[in-house]
Amino acid sequence: MASNNHFTNSRSNLSTNSDAADSVRNQQQQQPGVTFARRTSSGRYVNYSRDDLDSELGSVDFTNYTVHIPPTPDNQPMDPSISQKVEEQYVSSSLFTGGFNSVTRAHLMDKVIDSETSHPQMAGAKGSSCAIPGCDVKVMSDERGQDLLPCECDFKICRDCFVDAVKTGGGMCPGCKEPYRNTDLTDLAENSKGTQQQQRPMLPPPSGGGGSKMERRLSLMKSTKSGLMRSQTGDFDHNRWLFETSGTYGYGNAFWTKDGDFGSDKDGNGGGHGMGPQDLMSRPWRPLTRKLQIPAAVISPYRLLIFIRIVVLALFLMWRIKHQNQDAIWLWGMSVVCELWFAFSWLLDQLPKLCPINRATDLNVLKEKFETPSPSNPTGKSDLPGLDMFVSTADPEKEPPLVTSNTILSILAADYPVEKLACYVSDDGGALLTFEAMAEAASFANIWVPFCRKHNIEPRNPDSYFSLKRDPYKNKVKADFVKDRRRVKREYDEFKVRINGLPDSIRRRSDAYHAREEIKAMKEQRQNREDEIVEPVKIPKATWMADGTHWPGTWINSGPDHSRSDHAGIIQVMLKPPSDEPLHGVSEGFLDLTDVDIRLPLLVYVSREKRPGYDHNKKAGAMNALVRASAIMSNGPFILNLDCDHYIYNSQALREGMCFMMDRGGDRLCYVQFPQRFEGIDPSDRYANHNTVFFDVNMRALDGLMGPVYVGTGCLFRRIALYGFDPPRSKEHSPGFCSCCFGRKKKKSRVSEENKSLRMSGGGDDSDDDEEMSLSLVPKKFGNSTFLIDSIPVAEFQGRPLADHPAVQNGRPPGALTIPRELLDASTVAEAIAVISCWYEDKTEWGSRIGWIYGSVTEDVVTGYRMHNRGWKSVYCVTKRDAFRGTAPINLTDRLHQVLRWATGSVEIFFSRNNAFLASPKMKILQRIAYLNVGIYPFTSIFLIVYCFLPALSLFSGQFIVQTLNVTFLIYLLIISITLCLLALLEIKWSGISLEEWWRNEQFWLIGGTSAHLAAVIQGLLKVVAGIEISFTLTSKSGGDDVDDEFADLYVVKWTSLMIPPITIMMVNLIAIAVGFSRTIYSVIPQWSKLIGGVFFSFWVLAHLYPFAKGLMGRRGKTPTIVYVWSGLVAITISLLWVAINPPAGSTQIGGSFTFP
């Protein structure tokens, strides 16, 4: 890939954590300076900056050079594989902190939590200490956590002491004084496996010697002309084959050569198990996904009805404009304006629904292509790409740690290759409570994850699983399931007790350490001042970790450098990367895990740095920090983000999403959006919390265009799409709406099509040409981290579909991703600390073009819009079993504030450069209409509120929106209503929702439109016009006493100003109905037609507001009867007063001509 070379040559040298080898290689590009380094016993370079040297050196100008200690008999590097594993164990047990104007530190933690950890991947895992006096370093251990003891006397010795004993002590054991039989650490590690399965031989290092970590990672991008060559170990040599530089896409690419001799050696003898295209075509190529078209018997009438309703609406509006109501021209004018807007709004909502589709995946084909032994993958190891999971949380008070822990456990137990999965948790609050809850979850995962794998548990969220109301023993065939479940349930109950007790535990621990520090300070003060009066010593009350040190994040009692908006960046590897080969458990303990893989995915705690004076951009900024940190540490080509309250309900959902990305044409997909499903909703779904009309109707319809919008969670991203690159094979567009008349001659691209995988439009969304990104602009766009820049082409290559068919363009060779991932080292984590610092995004394009986009409270919609605007496509993945499940607010006030936030974001989008009016020509017209509707729908609230008052005004005035209820008006009204009902029925038919769900959505559309949407429009207009920020907050709270009721929060009444418009509409319409009846009854000539018209529309408004009225009443049976009595009396009194003040025409007294019989 040519782009790889471009990115490699454009590395920025500003990163403080780059290797010394990079400094030597790029010394001509650096500014004059001094770089000192020494080579450690593990073979690595340690850099020393000028600040670390004597001050006299700083006054002399030096040229670039590197000083290191050459290898000597006393300074021999140990085996790299062993040293890397030892360093990785050190990294996983260290808490890394750093940030702006501060040194990156690695704090080695003896323990992360108070309880004991047993899993060998767990941070702070217990291990034996070295028995050499004065050395407390942990002894070497294998991947199971067992001690590696080189002598038969089982004398415990660490790696460094063992090396010293071999080199300087004559190879004698310090314990038994006998010579070591084996002094090779590599053989020692292999011999320790005993009867375990042999470890897969490591691939030989790439040619070219050492180099930096990123060079070794990028070695998979290097290739020779050798095709499918076998290494001496008998394993497939990926480092020598991955790229065929002379290949072209299609027939004759990297997958097979033009002469068809695939895998022959240099002499053409076929020593490489040659395979030609005919071998691949011997069996039919099977796609991973397929489209399921809506039956013509449903979709054809649906489209016909849309066309009929458009015509009828046009004729009706023309008729309304021509036939004015001269008796009440003001009433007619308001109604016509509202009806014109409603017709326009309905068109914006309905036109994108013309092409709905369904999709299906085939997991069997995925397994066959990526996890089945083949000539290109003899061992059958997983060839699936890496996947980084993001979980975001900000406040442990509002987002309980137990909920976040269950989400993490569901991710760790997901059915995806363990070595390809990584989980990153963003704690934007920097709370020790979240940190220790994560550590507890990692410890409990040692039991929960193998249990799920052994018995195929669904769902893999322990809280949801143990709360299931169905029979848990159904379809369980293993005899020990009951015993295992009972024991795991008991362990989970203890786990919940520990999580719920963490706040008190942290507070008590901090109080105890604080008291100790005060006593210590007072003793020192007394010793220094023997005769003086000792004053009380004031020490900042810190928050203490389990190992007796200060927590570097937010303290319970905030202090300088330890508050929510001012703390250092923190990274802790809770679970280090798993081994490359499966690690089966043993039958010891309470679970028999003999044939169960007990490895756990990589788990990392991340809390980005926050400092005063910086705009941290809330969730979007936290997600971008995770994107950069994950690119440094694991660099999975795909990213799936979840809110902390959304967990994996279907353990195979990740595989289903990967089917779309790995299918033919999948390289042009920016993301796969899963529907949001919710738990804990009341059975009637009073406030349309399930939102099924949006997720099952609108999103399926958008899937037939360029794809669904991004809704914030449950979305599988392609990493390079988040980086702001254009999709591969993107067509060149001539900008302008009249390019057919004034089209310009297209410039011939300087880059061949196969090298266009990493292209970024140079001039933004409206640039004239999609030219390759300038090399000098790479650091300015992505920042100065060389690790991050070097990881981009790797992620692009690993995210390509499998080139298993000539029609697959921009593919990668089969078996390319079966090599093990790089082990973590301290420099890698230190670089990750640098990229999550508060200053890293300064003068870069993070948040403006790259990553999650800033500037809106609905950053999700804007981020998806930017990708579609560059020509990417997305798909909607609806699985048979819900992929993810989460929670939603069932309280009326909380629901209104949720809708207010969404609507406010839409108004911000409308008044920003992300308005669909400014979309690029790459976006289809119907997709543009859909995004236009996203920004316009809150403005419907203005016309909706006016229309809700029209029935009341009609009843008060005795007039109606039309002169008379003639046949023409009624026929139009009937046709419009019937077509609306038929469209709803057909939507229910092809989407699978129920009629009740459709009606609940209609009801809450009016509730939200008359409350939250109006407030969002007012807030957006004041912000744009006057720059005034307004927030609608809760003013008072009152709750029920029934704690046992699952839906108790549904009946809690919390007053908010958002309730004022709907309450006013209800009261005015109720009074208007009473006034209308009174006026008609007491009139000399009753106008029943006008009364019926006004009352009909008033009941239409009240029927939609019925759930809102129930929410105001609180719990059933708790509303006193006197409330209803007084409400009726007040309505009757007001109506009689109205008739008395304004009696009907022709009457001179109260009551008119009406008399009782």
Tens of pLDDT, residues 1084-1130 = 666 677 778 788 888 999 999 999 988 887 765 555 555 556 666 66
Q: Between the CA of residue 1022 and those of 224, 1011, 1025, 1027, what are the distances in Å?
A: 63, 17, 5, 6
Mean pLDDT of the region 200-227: 37
Q: Is the pLDDT of residue 1032 over 70?
A: no
* pLDDT (0 to 100) of residue 520: 87
Point out which residues pair with 602 in neighbouring strands: 422
Residue 197 is encoded by which pair of tokens?
A: 């399965």
* pLDDT (0 to 100) of residue 840: 93
* pLDDT (0 to 100) of residue 247: 33
* pLDDT (0 to 100) of residue 1034: 39
Amino acid in the structure at residue 1014: L
For residues 895 and 435, give the distance between their C-alpha atoms in angstroms, rounded to a whole number.
Answer: 30
Lowest average pLDDT, out of 180-184, 217-221, 846-850, goes to 217-221
More confident residue, 103 or 87: 103
Mean pLDDT of the region 524-541: 74
More confident residue, 88 or 837: 837
* pLDDT (0 to 100) of residue 631: 95
Ramachandran sector of residue 170 (left: φ over 0; alpha: ψ -120 to 50; beta: rest): left
Q: What is the DSSP string of 377-412?
A: BTT----PPPEEEEEEE--TTTS-HHHHHHHHHHHH
Mind spelling out the 3-state secondary structure of 97-108? EEECCEEEEEEE
More confident residue, 287 or 1124: 287
Q: Tokens 């994950």 — which residue?
A: 630
Q: In what order do the strands lie in the sheet with 647-648?
A: 647-648, 884-887, 677-679
* pLDDT (0 to 100) of residue 1124: 58
Q: Which residues are within 8 A (CB) of 458 and not within 5 positions of it... i.e. 6 or more apart?
A: 465, 649, 650, 651, 881
Mean pLDDT of the region 1077-1090: 73
Mean pLDDT of the region 726-731: 80
Mean pLDDT of the region 395-408: 93
Q: State the catalytic residue, choosing from 142, 388, 427, 860.
A: 860
Cβ(476)–Cβ(443) under 8 Å? no
Cβ(392)–Cβ(641) under 8 Å? yes
Q: How confident is the model at residue 348 (pLDDT cuts 50, 70, 90)?
A: very high
Please indicate whether residue 860 is annotated as part of the active site. yes
Q: Between the CA of residue 611 and those of 297, 398, 561, 605, 838, what are the distances in Å?
A: 61, 23, 8, 19, 7
Lowest average pLDDT, out of 180-189, 310-319, 795-804, goes to 180-189
Which SS3 state, helix, strand or coil, does residue 1157 take?
Answer: coil
Most confident of 149-153, 377-381, 402-406, 678-682: 402-406
Q: Which residues are within 8 A (CB) of 232 and not within 5 positions of it... i.e. 6 or more apart?
A: none
Q: Read off φ and ψ for residue 1013, nearest 5 degrees.
A: -65, -40
Question: Using alpha carbons only, what angle is made at residue 788 by residues 785 and 789, rounded to the nearest 5 degrees?
Answer: 90
Q: State the catalytic residue, choosing from 388, 428, 580, 685.
A: 428
Lowest average pLDDT, out of 271-275, 569-573, 807-811, goes to 271-275
More confident residue, 779 or 256: 779
Which SS3 state, helix, strand or coil, does residue 574 take?
Answer: strand
State the alpha helices, DSSP H only, in 268-420.
277-280, 296-322, 329-350, 363-370, 401-412
* pLDDT (0 to 100) of residue 284: 67
User: What is the per-residue pLDDT across 49-61, written as a single tens digit (0 to 9) for each?
Assistant: 333 333 333 333 3
Q: How confident is the model at residue 1045 (pLDDT cuts 50, 70, 90)?
A: low
Mind spelling out the 3-state secondary structure of 808-831? CCCCECCCCCCCCCCCCCHHHHHH
Q: Is the pLDDT of residue 642 over 90?
A: yes
Point out which residues pair with 421 in neighbouring strands: 387
For residues 635 and 792, give the distance between their C-alpha atoms in angstroms, rounded to a whole number.
Answer: 9
Q: How confident is the model at residue 73 (pLDDT cuts 50, 70, 90)?
A: very low
Q: Is the pLDDT of residue 621 over 80?
A: yes
User: What is the per-residue pLDDT across 484-527, written as a single tens digit (0 to 9) for each?
Assistant: 999 999 999 999 999 999 999 999 999 999 999 888 888 887 77
Q: How confident is the model at residue 1071 (pLDDT cuts 50, 70, 90)?
A: confident
**What is the chain's length?**
1157
Q: How confident is the model at residue 855 (pLDDT cuts 50, 70, 90)?
A: confident
User: What is the per-residue pLDDT across 680-717, written as a single tens digit (0 to 9) for each?
Assistant: 898 888 899 999 999 999 999 999 999 999 998 999 99
* pLDDT (0 to 100) of residue 820: 84
* pLDDT (0 to 100) of residue 54: 35
Please indicate whether residue 110 is annotated as part of the active site. no
pTM value > 0.85: no
Q: Is the pLDDT of residue 740 over 50?
A: no
Mean pLDDT of the region 832-848: 92
Indicate the average pLDDT of the chain: 77
Q: How confident is the model at residue 94 (pLDDT cuts 50, 70, 90)?
A: confident
